[in-house]
Structure 1
Amino acid sequence: MSATAPTRPVLPPDITARKGGVPLVVLTAYTTPMARLVDAHCDIALVGDSVGMVLHGMPSTLGVTLEMMILHGRAVVRGLSKAMAVIDMPFGSYEEGPAQAYRNAAQLMMETGAPAVKLEGGQHMAETIAFLTARGVPVMAHVGLTPQSVNTLGGYKVVGRDDEAARVMADAKACAAAGAFSIVLEKVPVGLAGRITAELPIPTIGIGAGVDCDGQVLVIDDMLGMFTAFRPKFVKRYAELGAAADQAIATYAEEVRRRAFPGPEHGFADQVKS
């Protein structure tokens, strides 16, 4: 009887090889328990800088630090055995230039064990992407709506309509040519996302970019109904765990106040019966 071969974790070349095949399944994860749930069903667990808004109550992702990403990255990697962890590079950790980006990407990978990073930006980040990939840092790119640029974009709006379409296409092609192994398209019009997907040799992963992308990603707290501060149009709620948790907490509080909890079955006797 032969021993069962251990499960090999997904790596960047595996993701690139999925171009045009069965769609890639991606969800964010920020903790070990959630990573274990994601690992059972997804190809990639994205440790997104959305952690700042979802778990830390920040108004945007701009306040997220490298230290925060390392902390949550370690937690997620501990919970994965199959899915690949990809860690967002936070605002200010890579925009200065390729050398800065390499130092911080290397630190993220060394201190978390994640095999890849993600950074935002198109043509202006191509040099940095090429610099990183040439030095052993796999990069997932991100174009369209780039949340770290929300202040210059003027809000979380659709990017790529009308005159912007050519620029978004050029951004995506520049990232692919620079060596990115995959690319996130966020809030890109459906038709444009389909054209980008058809023309790029690497997988596209959509979020608010339509069904023609090579995969999809959502923030897990959005799709589970746990983050309710706002709800983007592209989010489908697959559960309402926030409402269920609210009801459970309310019931607990009510039972404590009327001394219905703890009951006799939740306590311990003064002495053990012989």
Structure 2
Amino acid sequence: MSVTKKTKKITIPTIQAMKGDQQIVCLTAYTTPQAKLLDPHCELVLVGDSVGMVLHGMESTLEVTLEMMILHAKAVKKGLKQAVMVVDLPFGTYEQSPQQAFEAAARVMSETGCDAVKLEGGAYMAKTIEFLTERGIPVMAHLGLTPQSVNSFGGYKVQGRGEDGDKILQDAIAVSNAGAFAVVLEKLPTQLAKQITMAITIPTIGIGASNLTDGQILVTEDMLGLFADFQPKFVKRYANLQENISKAVAEYASEVKNQSFPSEEHSFK
């Protein structure tokens, strides 16, 4: 049973204060209708660069452009009244320098009205995070499996096993100290996710990182079952909309073919 309890706009400090107190609910959105459905139930809504794969049929997030992110973020903003809206900075728009990141982030915030931006990377992005936050741009970090670096990882594999775990822990401490207000932990072993969550003062948002983080995020289309051939281990399907949609479209097509739709009920005199 869903519980709707929010009555006013949630802010970045609200999210920060939830650490250690209550779990943070997060999902992705790319359209206005979707945002309206998520808003009563989520503290945070992410306009993720996963939009490239989910809505545009791209092979990875690397093809996503800043213009695409702004377009979808504008649509999502229209559907939100309460949740904090975070927008991904796409690949190639922030890695070169803090100044490049500021220009991209400033454009996203001014054109979409979002509350924060998200970028991938650990300690090497600390200066960029500090640069942005000092200039009034809230930043969410992203560690572990960072999809924009999927070619370096050799696929969508679990990260942080063995010696790599200490590096990710140090990365988490670095982005926290740099001023990030929260960090996404993707595809990490349970104990590492727990260790990071306990070691830093900002909320951790897990995706494939156990229930020992400060919150959870999933791609909405994944948890609604819109992709029958794609179900990572960390995704739980709360609905099977692909089957429902396919059945509805098949029924519509059949009625059009046999001319039972539109009937007199759906026609004008």
CA distance in 2, matches of 1:245, 1:115: 33
- Indicate whether 1:13 and 2:13 are aligned: yes
- The alpha-carbon deviation at position 17 of structure 1 amounts to 1.1
What is residue 33 of structure 1 aligned with on the other side? 33
Q: Distance in 2 between matches of 1:44 and 1:172?
A: 20
> Matched residue of 1:80: which SS?
coil
Q: State the TM-score, normalizing by the size of structure 2.
A: 0.96
1:76 match? 76
SS in 2 for 1:119: strand
Q: Please say if 1:250 is aligned against 2:243.
A: no
1:236 paired residue number: 236
Bigger drift between 227-236 and 56-65 goes to 227-236
Which amino acid letter does the alignment assign opposite residue 10 of structure 1? Answer: I
Q: Report the counterpart of residue 63 of structure 1 in structure 2.
A: 63
Partner secondary structure for residue 125 of structure 1? helix
State whether residues 54 and 227 of structure 1, in contact with CA within 8 Å, keep that contact through their aligned partners in structure 2: no
The answer on 1:209 being equivalent to 2:209 is yes
* Residue type of the alignment partner of 1:51: V
**C-alpha distance after superposition, 1:79-131 (max 9, x if no partner):** 00000100000000100010000000000000000010000000111110000
Counterpart CA distance in 2 for 1:228 and 1:194 is: 31
1:7–1:81: 8 Å Cα contact kept in structure 2? no
Bigger drift between 53-62 and 227-236 goes to: 227-236
The amino acid that maps onto 1:133 is T
Q: Distance in 2 between matches of 1:228 and 1:114?
A: 32
Q: What is the CA distance between 1:228 and its match in structure 2?
A: 3.3
Equivalent position of 1:85 in the other structure: 85
* Counterpart residue identity of residue 126, structure 1: A
Q: CA RMSD in A?
A: 1.0
Identity of aligned residues (%): 59
Deviation of 1:57 after TM superposition, in Å, equals 0.5
Residue 268, structure 1, aligned to residue 268, structure 2:
yes
Partner residue of 1:174? 174
Aligned position for 1:272: none
CA distance in structure 2 between the aligned counterparts of 1:227 and 1:97, rounded to whole angstroms = 37
Within the alignment, does 1:101 sit opposite 2:101 as a pair? Answer: yes
Stretches of structure 2 lacking an aligned partner (at least 5 in a row):
1-5
Give the superposition deviation at 1:229: 4.2
Flag the structure with larger Rg.
1
Task: Number of aligned residue pairs: give it.
Answer: 264
Structure 1: 4+ residue segments shifted above 6 A: none
> Deviation string for 1:50-76 (max 9, x for gaps)?
000000010110100000000000011
Q: Distance in 1 between matches of 2:9 and 2:92?
A: 30
- The TM-score, its normalising length taken from structure 1, stands at 0.95
**In 2, Cα distance between equivalents of 1:229 and 1:84:** 31
1:168 and 1:227 map into 2 onto residues whose CA distance is 31
Amino acid at match of 1:88: D
Residues 1-38 of structure 1: CA deviation (Å, up to 9, x unaligned): xxxxx953212111111111110000000000010111
User: What residue ranges of structure 1 are gaps of 5+ in the alignment?
Assistant: 1-5, 270-274
